[in-house]
Structure 1
Amino acid sequence: MLDANLKTQLKAYLERLQQPIELVASLDDRPASAEMRALLEDIAPLSALISVRYDGNDARRPSFSISRAGADMGVRFAAIPMGHEFTSLVLALLQAGGHPPKLDADTIAQIQGLEGDFVFETYMSLTCHNCPDVVQALNLMAVLNPRVRHVAIDGGLFKAEVDARQIMAVPTVFLNGQPFGSGRMEIGEILAKVDTGAAARDAAKLAKKEPYEVLIVGGGPAGAAAAIYAARKGIRTGIVAERFGGQTLDTLAIENFVSVMETEGPKFAAALEAHVRAYAVDVNVGQQVQAVVPAPQPGAHATVKLANGAELKGRTVILATGARWRNVNVPGEQEYKTRGVAYCPHCDGPLFKGKKVAVIGGGNSGVEAAIDLAGVVEHVTLIEFLDQLKADAVLVDKLKSLPNVTIHTNAQTTEITGDGQKVNGLRYKDRVSGAEHHVELAGVFVQIGLVPNTEFLKGTLELSRFGEIVIDPKCATSVPGIFAAGDVTTVPYKQIIIATGEGAKAALSAFDYLIRTPAEQG
């Protein structure tokens, strides 16, 4: 299973083990069980602290547990954790073996102090770049707290379960047999949902924060760049965000960030966070901003209000809240979201293997999604509202060469249909003839661009008719002391490299504002 190079790398990692661990496999006669046995037989000889048994009696076969010898840790893979999940496997081995996690002491204490019994099940796919964050967070919780158990389940291996639970998006998490969440979740978000007192404790902690000279809202490329540039000026800098990475977390391949030949979105996001944390930046993640109250006069503090009731203050504020996938806003979209309506072809495409799907959107993202899906599913129908596809010519040519793709232009999506449980089709109207059509499908992938995250700013500062924050060439908004950067603004060309440049510019502009505006006394 593992080539010589991968064995060498894994052996080096396993030298960090501090305590013996035991892998216990539950196998059957499926080919996947033979693959799992081969993987475990490759791993065991790489460290004297690892032992393997094949007498497990878990109902899910093939699967294997990872536990510290003499303990009963609740970490299990009902999967052959290769691809994106290989890192999850390595971390689980190290953490079960006593290697300390990269987690702050407060979060560790919070996990260890959870009351109750928690049995998590995560359905994932090995091609999903969003799944590892969830798998790794829940595995770590299971290592740290004996009352937490977690199994990562490859939907491709356990198709009957996926169908029975009508899972049509990954990652999908169940807690104690009930739906818990879907999509990327970081450990702070998970803890906020299971620890009922977390919000109040967090708010009390944030309320004690001293005002910042620069307070950045958002943790994507623009927010990260702004934080780094502000901190390098030696001024008190804070960042508040729901998570680090922004839209890059949902990007599979990044090949146009100058000096980085190729990387993956989640890796890029992790690098952003690491770079920010290398400086004296007060990082507050897992926080949702509800409102921004401008300073009453120049030199005074603006106020950023959070969903948990806490307030943070800054002499300047940089808004870098980015954008999110745009909804098509037709009947059925919300009803069948995660039940056939999807937004990430890389993550959810494998769940539709051998089925018929549609892609809504003829821009680069839509055409790329259709090309990607065509290699997995039975047939792809692409729906474009305009009279021609908007994607780059090379992509359009590639799409048209595929035998299992049908393209409809001048087509207006009017409804996503379903049977009450999952998607079964899509209705569209021919904008030339007026004729209506219904296409039978198992899934619909929406790829029609982005919408800025500015709902909480309406009435606070000037927005464009598209909801973007209006800025001048120095990233200043219509409100003195408040700046903005990245995809949330009117700056053209929504690209990662442009967002980082705008973030740096916003920080420099904020610093210039600070040195030219005397602070309010008292």
Structure 2
Amino acid sequence: MLDANLKTQLKGYLERVTRPIEIVASLDDGDKSRELSTLLRDIESLSDKVSLREDGTDARRPSFSLGTPGKQIDLRFAGLPMGHEFTSLVLALLHVGGHPSKASEELIEQIQSIEGEYVFETYISLSCQNCPDVVQALNLMAVLNPNIRHTMIDGALFQDEVEKRQIMAVPTVFLNGENFGQGRMTVEEIVGRLDTGAAAREAEKLNAKQAYDVLVVGGGPAGAAAAIYAARKGIRTGVAAERFGGQVLDTLAIENFISVKETEGPKLAAALEEHVKQYDVEIMNLQTAEKLITAKEQGGLHEVLFANGASLKAKTLIVATGARWRKMNVPGELEYANKGVAYCPHCDGPLFKGKPVAVIGGGNSGVEAAIDLAGIVSHVTLIEFDTALRADAVLQRKLMSLPNVTVLTNALTTEVVGDGNKVSGLVYKDRASGEERTVELAGIFVQIGLVPNTDWLKGSIELSGRGEVIIDERGQTSSPGVFAAGDVTTVPYKQIVIAMGEGAKASLSAFDHLIRITAPA
């Protein structure tokens, strides 16, 4: 099951464990059970601290649990944790085997102090790049706290459960049988939802912080570059972000980042955060900016107000809050979000295996999504508002070569329809004839571009008609001392490498501004 290279790597990891690991498998006579048995036997052969039994009684088959003598740990994998989830398996083995996690002591103590009974189930797809974060977070919590149990479930392998629970997006997490949430969640976010006093305590800590020389709001490529360049100047630097990595976390393949032939978004995001942590930078995650009060408005310092009641002040500010997926804004879209309306074909595509779906958008992202989905679903209908597709010619040729794809141009989606629980189709208007038509579908993947995250800036700095922050060639906004960089700005071509350069430029401009306002008369 594992090739020689993976075995060598895993053997090295398992040398770090300090206590026995017991694997108990629940198998049947199916092909997947045989594959799982082979995988687990490979793992057992790599360390004398690992033992395997195949007499498990779990109703989900194939599945297996990880445990250790003398500790109450309920951590399970239903399916084969390969693909993106292989890292989740490796980390689970290490943590169950006593190797410490990289979580802070404060977070570990917070997890261990959670009281009550919590049974988590996470439905994933092996092609989902967002799922491992959730699986790894809940696995760690299950290792640290006996009150917490967690099972990862491969939705493609347990389709009957997916259908019964009407799961149409991954990761989907259930807590004690009830829907807990969809999408990427960090361990801090999950703990914060269980520990209801966490947000207030965090806000109190932030309110007590002294003013920064440079405060970066946003933790994507632009924000990371800005923080590094500021910290290297030896000035007091902070980063406040909803999630470090930003939209990069939702990007699967990256093949145009100069000097790196190929990588994946989550890997790049982790590298960005690790690089920033090499410097004296305070990183404050899970912080949603709600309002900016500029120095021009109140004199002295810029102030950012956050959703949890906290506020931070700074002499200069760099806005790098990026962008989010643009929505269609038609009836039914919000009602059926995660019930057939999706925005990540790589993550959610496997849940629609053998079913008809639509892709909205004829640019590169839309055509790439249609090509990917065509290999999984029964049929793809691509709907483009313009009279022609806008994707690169090579992508269009590939799309047109596929037998199970229909392309509709000059078409306006007007409504998402469903049965109250899930999507059943969409209505579109033929812009040439004015006629409305309905397409029966199980899923709709929206790929129509980005919207800048600037709602919190309205009334504070000047924005373009598209809601982007207007900047000059130095990254300066309309308010002195407030700079901006990346996808949130008017700079064309929303690319990772461009955002990084813009972040560096904005940081250098902020430092120059600091020098000038603090220079002796």
* Contact in 2 for aligned 1:299/1:519 (Cα 8 Å): no
Match of 1:363 in 2: 363
Distance 1:450 1:101 in 2: 36
* Contact in 2 for aligned 1:299/1:518 (Cα 8 Å): no
Q: Following TM superposition, by how much is the alpha carbon of 1:69 offset from its aligned partner in structure 2, in angstroms? A: 2.3
Q: Following TM superposition, by how much is the alpha carbon of 1:72 offset from its aligned partner in structure 2, in angstroms? A: 2.4
Match of 2:493 in 1: 493
- In structure 1, give the amino acid aligned to 2:184: R
Distance 2:43 2:195 in 1: 36
Question: Which stretch shifts more, 467-476 or 66-75?
Answer: 66-75
Distance 2:223 2:79 in 1: 36
Match of 1:85 in 2: 85
* Contact in 2 for aligned 1:299/1:315 (Cα 8 Å): no
Q: Following TM superposition, by how much is the alpha carbon of 1:330 offset from its aligned partner in structure 2, in angstroms? A: 0.7
Q: Following TM superposition, by how much is the alpha carbon of 1:299 offset from its aligned partner in structure 2, in angstroms? A: 8.0
* Contact in 2 for aligned 1:174/1:180 (Cα 8 Å): yes
Match of 2:263 in 1: 263
Partner-residue secondary structure (3-state), 2:403:
coil
Distance 2:329 2:456 in 1: 20
Q: Following TM superposition, by how much is the alpha carbon of 1:292 offset from its aligned partner in structure 2, in angstroms? A: 1.2
Match of 2:200 in 1: 200
Match of 2:57 in 1: 57
Partner-residue secondary structure (3-state), 1:480:
coil
Q: Following TM superposition, by how much is the alpha carbon of 1:4 offset from its aligned partner in structure 2, in angstroms? A: 1.3
Question: Which stretch shifts more, 241-250 or 354-363?
Answer: 241-250
Question: Which stretch shifts more, 295-304 or 163-172?
Answer: 295-304
- Identity among equivalent positions (%) equals 69
Match of 2:9 in 1: 9
Match of 1:181 in 2: 181
Match of 2:316 in 1: 316
* Contact in 2 for aligned 1:299/1:517 (Cα 8 Å): no
* Contact in 2 for aligned 1:220/1:321 (Cα 8 Å): yes
Q: Following TM superposition, by how much is the alpha carbon of 1:308 offset from its aligned partner in structure 2, in angstroms? A: 1.1
2:170 corresponds to 1:170:
yes
2:374 corresponds to 1:374:
yes
- In structure 2, give the amino acid aligned to 1:104: S
Give RMSD over aligned pairs.
1.2
Match of 1:97 in 2: 97
Distance 2:288 2:246 in 1: 13
Distance 1:299 1:332 in 2: 46
Normalised to the residue count of structure 2, the TM-score between the two structures is 0.98
Partner-residue secondary structure (3-state), 1:494:
coil
Distance 2:444 2:194 in 1: 32
* Contact in 1 for aligned 2:2/2:39 (Cα 8 Å): yes
Match of 1:436 in 2: 436
Partner-residue secondary structure (3-state), 1:72:
strand
Match of 2:111 in 1: 111
2:343 corresponds to 1:347:
no
* Contact in 2 for aligned 1:298/1:481 (Cα 8 Å): no
Q: Following TM superposition, by how much is the alpha carbon of 1:296 offset from its aligned partner in structure 2, in angstroms? A: 4.3
Q: Following TM superposition, by how much is the alpha carbon of 1:246 offset from its aligned partner in structure 2, in angstroms? A: 1.0
Count of residue pairs brought into register by the alignment: 520
Superposed CA offset, 1:127-161 (max 9, x none): 11110000000000001101010000000111110
* Contact in 2 for aligned 1:300/1:519 (Cα 8 Å): no
Question: Which stretch shifts more, 482-491 or 285-294?
Answer: 285-294
Distance 2:380 2:212 in 1: 51
2:277 corresponds to 1:291:
no
* Contact in 1 for aligned 2:296/2:479 (Cα 8 Å): no
Normalised to the residue count of structure 1, the TM-score between the two structures is 0.98
2:40 corresponds to 1:23:
no
In the TM superposition, 1:29-44 aligns within 5 A as: 29-44=29-44
Distance 1:498 1:33 in 2: 47
Distance 2:100 2:422 in 1: 42
Q: Following TM superposition, by how much is the alpha carbon of 1:408 offset from its aligned partner in structure 2, in angstroms? A: 0.4
Distance 1:470 1:347 in 2: 34
Partner-residue secondary structure (3-state), 1:270:
helix
* Contact in 1 for aligned 2:61/2:79 (Cα 8 Å): no
Match of 1:450 in 2: 450
* Contact in 2 for aligned 1:355/1:377 (Cα 8 Å): yes
Partner-residue secondary structure (3-state), 1:303:
strand
Distance 1:519 1:68 in 2: 62
